Structure 1
C-alpha cells in the first residue's frame, strides 16, 4: 500500500535529518567539560547575555563565556585578548582558556609560556578578592587580597588580560548572581561644566580629603602608636599618618576645574574608552605607593571597592615625563603632594557612580624583626549629586521561566491541541471503536508527530532522570520554578501524571514517547518486509519484564547516594542519543541506540518491555488507575485468542485479561473486539446460541416425520 511506502520514507527522513529540528538543551561540549567536569548538559542563555548556562541535571552549576562577547580592551597589538572563562555560582573563576591573542611580546619575544602561566593564576579566584599584579612590590597575603606575579617586559599585555578577565566575569556575576551589584543607577555627567573654586570643590566633596592622625590611625588599626610610628615612610611626625586628596576627574565640573582645560583634555584623551581616572595625592607619613612601586602597575597599598567587590585599579603612568599640572586658581590652595598619580579603572567592571566607594589603605606593621602583618584601614566616599545623571531604574525583569514560556507559546499550543485530541480519543474510545479501519493511519500519523515534533523539535522526551530529579527536589526542598524552565516537559509531565490515574502507563508509552514511537515504526517496516518476530516464551517474558523495575531501583537509589553516577548510569536510556541529540554523538552511544531500534524489528518494542526504567516508574504509579477501559468479552481467552495473537507488546494474558502495567494502549484489541467481521467471538456466540436452541428443542418438542410433510406436536 502507498501509505507504507510513505511511512518508511518519512521515518528515515525524520531520523537522519537532524538539521531540521531545533534544540534547547545541548550536549556538554569538550570546552565546557574541561572547565565543569560535573556538567551533564548546557543551554544557551535565554536573555541577551552572550553566555552559556551549565547544568548538572536541572541544577545550574556555572556559566561559560568568552571575554570578547562582554568586553573590549585593546592590547598592545591593538586587538583584544579573548579568553574562555568558567564562573561558578559562588562567583569563583573555575577555569580559563586562552582563545586568541596577537600580543607581539609573547608571539615574537618571550614566547607564550609566561602568558599561560600568568592566566593560570586566576583559576580559583573569587570576584570578592582584590588582585595585585606586579613582580617588585612587597607581597601582601590575606583572605581578601590575591597577589599574582606579573610578566617582566609585558606589563601592558598582562594588565589588559587582568582587566579583561575581571570585567567580563563581573558582568556575568552581576547579571546572574546575588551580591555582585546590579545595573548602574546613575552615570557621570560628562556634558555640564560649571566653574568652581577650590573651596567649593572641597565643600561639595568633589575633592575628597582623607586625614588620620597617628592616634586615630592607631585606634582604628587596634595597635599602639609606637608600632604605627615605625610604619611611617618618612616626614615630620607632626604631619598626619594618612593625608590623601582624591578626586574623580572625568566629570568636567571636577576635572577641568582642578587641572585646567588643556591638562584635562590631555588626561581624557589618554584614557581608553570607558576608563575612569582617579587623582590621588599623598602628603602624610604613610604614602599610598611604596618605594618599590612600579609605574603602570596596581598599587599594593591603595585599594578601591564598591559593595564589597574590588575595582581593578592601575597606574595610568601619565606623570612619568612631566609634573602634575593644576589650574591656576586651584594650584595656590592645593596641598603640596609628596606623591601624586592618576589611577584608572574601567566602567566595565561594574562601577556605579551613585553608590558609595570605599577607599582603603593597607598598612604594613612589623611584629618583630623578621615578621610583618598587613592591616586594612578604609573610609567611605560618595560622589556629589551635581556630577551625576540619574538613570531611570529598569523595570523588574520578567522571570526567566515566564520568558521561556512566552518564547515557546506556539510549541505549547501545538502540543496542547495534540493532547486534547488524544484525550478525546481515549475518553470516547468505545464510540470511536466502530471506525477501527482508520486506526492504522491515525496511529501512524500520531507516531510521526511524536517523533518529529514532540521529540526532535520540542525536545519533549521524558526520562527517568526527571523522576529522581523530582524525588531529590521533594527531599531537599521543592522549587517549582526549576521545573517550569522547560515548558514542554512540564506540560507533558503534568498531563502524564493525571493520565496515570485514568489509563495507566499506556497512554504515554504508546502515544507520547518519541523513542517508543521509533521502535514501533521500525516494527512496522519489519512487518512490511515480512521480517518475522522472535517468539518469547511466557516464562522468559515474565522474567524479563522485571528487569526494568530492578534498573529503576538502582538508579533512584544511586541518585540519593551520588547524583553524578546516577546520571551516568541513566545512559541505559537511549533517549539523549536518539532524540535529544538526534544521533549526533560519539559512536558507542549511537551504536547502542541503533541496536535497540534494530532489535525492535525482531522483538516488538523490546526496550520498552524489558529495559526502560521510565516505563517501570510510570507503571508503578499506574497501578493506582481508576478504570480498565479496554473492552473484554466472555469469550476472550477461552476459546478466542485473536487479540492475544495480535498484541505485539504481549500484554494480553491467556485468560484474555489485559496486563495494564505492560499495555501501551495501542487500541488494536479494541478495534478487533468492536469489528464484527474480525472478532470471532461473534461466531462463538452464535454457535453457543444455536446449541442452546437445539438443546431446548430436543427437550420440549416432539417431531413426527411422515413421508408427505413435517408436522409439530
Structure 2
C-alpha cells in the first residue's frame, strides 16, 4: 500500500510539473504538423526549412546546381482559416503552394465531416482535394455541380468536380483551401502589393445614412455596367469570336446587359436600397465579418447562366481584388429593393466570407465574362471580360491603426464583456473572502450560488465562450514542443481574464474556485443534479473507498491526453473530445449525434450521481487539482470535534471531499461552502447544538 501511495504521489507531482510549465490563457485551433512528418511527406530533393517565426508556414527549398531556390510553402489550413465544418469542427488540410501561387498538393490531415466518416468514407474526399494540384490562386476555382472528367475552363472559372451527397462539405473545404492559401500568398508571395495584408479595413456598422437613388448613383454606390450589342461586338473584333452573335450584328444599338452593383452589407447602402424586411433577412444570414454584394440586371445577358444552380458560385461573374480572385457565392435570398424603377429586373446577392480577406478600402473588380462558341462538335470557346471597378467611400469603413495586427483590438472590441466578467469575478472573490458572512444564512448562500452558476453558464459559457478546458493545456504544450510562440493565447481575452482569476484562486483556495463556480459545464452539471433531485430520481452515493478509487480515473485520463502530445500528436485532437465542453458549451449541442449523445449521457449521469464527470473523469479538473497543491490557505474552518466524533459535514458533502477524521481534501473540494454554512448553523452543527443545549435556560413558571 505504501508503494502504491508513493507511486500515485510521484505521478501527481510529475503531472503537476508538466502543467505548471504549460499554463494556457486561451483555447485556440492550432496546427499539428511537425518538420519530421513533413520531411517524410515531401522527401528529397525537396528540403523543408524550420517553421517561420512570424507565420505558421514551412518554407520548402530545392538545390539547383550551386543555388538553393525557394520552391514554395507548406502550411495547415486550420492556422489561417478555421472554418467550421458540418459537424462544427474545422477541417485541417495540408497545403503546398509554390512561389508563383500554384498548388503543388493538398492533403487531408483531419476532418470530422459525418458524410466522409460514416457515409461515403474518406476515398471521395482524398480524390476531391487531389484536383487542386496544378491549379493557381490566380484562377477562380469553383466546384462544378455537373460531373466532369477533368478540370475545365468555362466562363472565367476553373471547375473541379464536386462530391455527390457532400455538397456542403466540399464547399467548406474549397473555402478553407482558398482562404488559407490567399492569406499565405498575400504575406509571403507579395500578392498584396505594397499593402500589409493584416491591415485590412472593416466596414463601419455605426454609420447609418439615408441615401436616395440620386445620391447612390452619384457616389457610385449603386454602380452601373451598361453594354450595348455594339460594345460587345467591338470587344470581339479581330478574334475568332467576331460575328458569331447574329443578334448583336443585326441590332447593334440594342441593350446587351445593364447591370447595377452594390455593397449591400454596408448598412447605409443596404438600408437605402433594400426594403426593411429584406434588410432584416440579409442581416440575419451574415456572420460577423462577411460581405454581401448585390447585382441587379436587365437585358440579354446576366451574371449567371440559365442552368445556374442556386447557392453556387456565379458562372459568368468574377470578383477580384489586387489581381486575385475572391470566391463569392449566391445567398439564395429573395430580396426586394425599396425603389423599383424602369423595366423589371433580376437580382442576386452574393456572399464573401470573412476568411477570404476582402478589404473594403480597396477597389472591387467585377469581371463579366462573355463567352462565344465556334464550331459544332468540339466548339472553341472565345471569351472577353468586361470589368467594372467598384470603390467604397472612405466614411463607410475604418482603417486599422498601427497595432491592429496584434491582439489589442480584440480586447478593445470586447471591452463590455471583459468589464462584466471582471466585475463578476470581483464579486465572487469578495464573497469567498468573506465566507462567514455569505454562509451565515444557508438560504442566502443557496440563492447567491444558484444565481452565480446561472451567470457562469449563460454569460461566461454560452455567450462569452469562456469555457477553459484541457485543450488550453495541449495547445500550449504543442506550441512549446514545436518551438512556436505563445502569443496566440492573447487573442481570446475572456479566457485570458479567466485564467488570471484561476491562477490567483489556485494559490489562495485551490481548484474549487474554478470547478465549483466558474466552469460552465460544471454549472450545467450542477443544474442537472438539482433537476434530478427535484424529480425524485434515486441519488447514488458511492462507498468512500470506491469513490476514492474512481477519482483516480481523471488523473489517468489527464496523463493520456498530455502524453499524446509527445507520443502521438495526431491522436490528441481525438482524445481532447473526452471532454464534452465543446459539444455542450461551445457548440450548444449543435453537433453530430455521437457527441451530443455522449454529453447528454454525462448530464444524465449527474442527475443520479452528483457531478459525475467533474469528480471522476474530467482531465482539466485533475490538472487544476495538481496545480492547486500550491494553495497557501486551509481556508475552511474546522472544530476539534469535526470527525471526532461529528460526521455531519462529511455525510452532507455531495463531493465526498471530507475524510472520516474531519480534514478537507482540497484537491477534491469544489468550494460550495455547504460545510461552512453548517459550521455556523447552531441547528445543524452538532458541537454548536450541544453547546446551545448546555447553555439553555429553562424558565420556571408559577402554577
- TM-score, length-scaled by structure 2: 0.49
Larger radius of gyration: 1
- TM-score, length-scaled by structure 1: 0.48
**Greater relative contact order (CA < 8 Å, ≥ 6 in sequence):** 2
